[in-house]
Amino acid sequence: EVQLVESGGGLVQPGGSLRLSCTTSGFTFSSTWMHWVRQAPGKGLVWVSRINTDGSSTSYADSVKGRFTISRDSAENTMYLQMNSLRDEDTAVYYCVRYNSGWYWGQGTLVTVSS
Amino acid sequence: DIQMTQSPSSLSASVGDRVTITCRASQGINNYLAWFQQKPGKAPKSLIYAASNLQSGVPSKFSGSGSGTDFTLTISSLQPEDIATYYCQQYKTYPLTFGGGTKVEIK
């Protein structure tokens, strides 16, 4: 069974940092591109970032470019999202997502940016 | 960026009704289109990928069609457990983009 488990969310002040993790199982992590998608409270879904199989290629939404860094550790079957210079508008549930003959989502982790 | 426009933004239908949601892309995306269902407080659940392929484990009352710029999601017989918000997503080009969602309610 494919499992994606996010962790690392919490309350952080504006300008602060947070690192999210997505621990995976049930599939060959090293062969799969991975994504982060977020959803602000009461709003729609927004794609944030993606990383290729070996981490050599990444892309970001304009709203997070230069502040967020996606990475992965195939030995740990884990993907990360380092979030720096956080803003109020980064408040959202962050989902870890993979695509392989369909999209698979984690349960999400809530990030709240507030003073 | 490719804009995804869903319609309607909300709908109310009776149990047993056939429900259709449409999604239009601002440029051609071939069949790189997915549909998701999201219930309040829950993560999205994938229903359809590649425009018309049913994701494993999804009941056959859900179906998708279309190619290019115009797509539809159909629920053949609406049931109370189908109450949710439905989103389309294009994955042909980065940034991946989602429609604004369609909230489905029971009349």
Residue range A10-51, pLDDT digits in tens: 999 999 999 999 999 999 999 999 999 999 999 999 999 999
Phi and psi at A91, nearest 5°, equal -60, 125
Chain B residues with CB within 8 Å of chain A CB: 34, 36, 38, 43-46, 49, 53, 55-56, 87, 89, 91, 94-101
A35/A52 Cα distance (integer angstroms): 9
What was the pLDDT predicted at A88? 98
Q: Which two tokens stand for residue A64?
A: 């997070």
Q: What is the pLDDT of residues A84-93, one digit of tens each?
A: 999 999 999 9
What was the pLDDT predicted at A100? 87
Contacts of B91 in chain A (CB under 8 A): 99
Q: How far is CA A84 from CA A13, A31, A81, B21, in A?
A: 11, 28, 10, 38
What was the pLDDT predicted at B18? 98
B23/A29 Cα distance (integer angstroms): 31
Nearest chain A residue (CA) to B94: A59
How many angstroms away from the CA of A111 is the closest CA of chain B?
15
- Those residues whose C-beta lies under 8 Å from the C-beta of residue A3, and which sit 6 or more positions away, are A24, A25, A26
Contacts of A103 in chain B (CB under 8 A): 34, 36, 46, 49, 55, 89
Q: Do A62 and B56 touch (CB under 8 A)?
A: no
**Closest among B63, B67, B60, B54 to B21, alpha carbons compared:** B63
Q: Do A103 and B36 touch (CB under 8 A)?
A: yes
Averaged pLDDT in 10-residue chunks for chain B of 107 residues:
98 98 98 97 97 96 98 98 98 97 97
Choose the closest CB to A47 out of B38, B46, B95: B95
One-character DSSP codes across chain A: --EEEEE--EEE-TT--EEEEEEEESS-GGG--EEEEEE-TTS-EEEEEEE-TTSS-EEE-TTTTTTEEEEEETTTTEEEEEE-S--GGG-EEEEEEEESSSEEE---EEEEE--
What was the pLDDT predicted at A101? 85
Please say whether the beta carbons of A94 and A20 come within 8 A.
Answer: yes
What was the pLDDT predicted at A63? 98
Nearest chain B residue (CA) to A35: B96
